[in-house]
């Protein structure tokens, strides 16, 4: 079992290094997404995942994490962004195992863990949905500088919210921010670089 795990890790490292060499030869080793200031406060959250488990960002360390805030009744931005991220994950190929997409609900009243599971896995079975109490969601959103507000709509309501997608490296540090206008190829390019960086740092610490 351990030899199989070691083989998969060696294969991934070789794949990443090969892709990194391609980027170097192409002169494209700079990130294309907006880089988060290193001195800026680092985010965190205390939420419940779609399987009912308490989670913080530390639980996802070891892989690059993409964090997007929205809600399941969103009609345009949320499904559009999740669809694009599913395309990104597929295009990453074997490196997708080093990336985790996290969808944080801003609608705790209606987005139950069960509904979140059905919603996010319809885009990709590897995606994870997270929710919590109003206080927990408010704290998580504030931690990422996400703005949102409920807006009355007849007898119901919608949720207006900012639409950035936040990228954390394998150590859990917020590094990059993408938008709904970020091309799939730019996502793939930057995630390859970020995963490669994490592998290189890990290898120097061994």
Domain encompassing residue 88: 32-182
Answer whether residue 25 is part of any domain.
no
- Separation of alpha carbons 201 and 186, rounded Å: 23
Answer whether residue 82 is part of any domain.
yes
In this predicted structure, the answer to whether residue 179 has a pLDDT above a threshold of 50 is yes
Answer whether residue 11 is part of any domain.
no
Answer whether residue 23 is part of any domain.
no
Q: For residue 16, count other CB atoms closer than 10 A to its CB.
A: 21
Rg (CA), the chain: 17
* pLDDT, tens digit (0-9, with 9 covering 90-100), for 89-146: 999 999 999 999 999 999 999 999 999 999 999 999 999 999 999 999 999 999 999 9
Answer whether residue 49 is part of any domain.
yes
CATH classification at residue 141: 3.40.30.10
> Tokens standing for 123?
């885009």
Q: How far is CA 130 from CA 25, 50, 107, 108, in A?
A: 40, 6, 11, 10
Q: What's the number of domains the chain is made of?
A: 1
Instruction: Give the model's confidence band at 24: pLDDT under 50 very low, under 70 low, under 90 confident, else very high.
Output: very low
Answer whether residue 9 is part of any domain.
no
Answer whether residue 205 is part of any domain.
no
**Residue environment code for 116-141, b if the CB has 16+ CB neighbours within 10 A, otherwise e:** bbebbeebbeebbbbbbeeebbebbb
């Amino acid at each position: 079992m351990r030899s199989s795990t070691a083989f998969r890790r060696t294969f991934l490292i070789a794949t990443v290094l090969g892709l990194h060499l391609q980027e170097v030869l192409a002169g494209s080793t700079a990130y294309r997404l907006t880089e988060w200031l290193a001195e800026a406060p680092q985010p965190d959250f205390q939420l419940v995942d779609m399987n009912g488990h308490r989670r913080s960002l530390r639980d996802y360390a070891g892989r690059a994490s993409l964090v997007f805030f929205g809600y399941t009744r969103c009609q345009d931005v949320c499904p559009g962004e999740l669809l694009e991220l599913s395309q990104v994950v597929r295009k990453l190929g074997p490196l997708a195992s080093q990336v985790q997409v996290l969808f944080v609900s801003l609608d705790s009243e209606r987005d139950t863990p069960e509904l979140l599971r059905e919603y996010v896995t319809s885009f990709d079975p590897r995606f994870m949905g997270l929710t919590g109490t109003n206080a927990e969601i408010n704290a998580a959103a504030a931690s990422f500088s996400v703005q949102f507000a409920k807006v009355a709509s007849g007898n119901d309501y919608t949720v207006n919210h900012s639409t950035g997608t936040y990228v954390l490296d394998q150590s859990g540090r917020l590094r990059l921010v993408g938008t709904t206008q970020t091309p799939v190829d730019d996502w793939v390019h930057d995630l390859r670089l970020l995963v490669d960086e994490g592998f290189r740092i890990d290898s120097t610490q061994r």
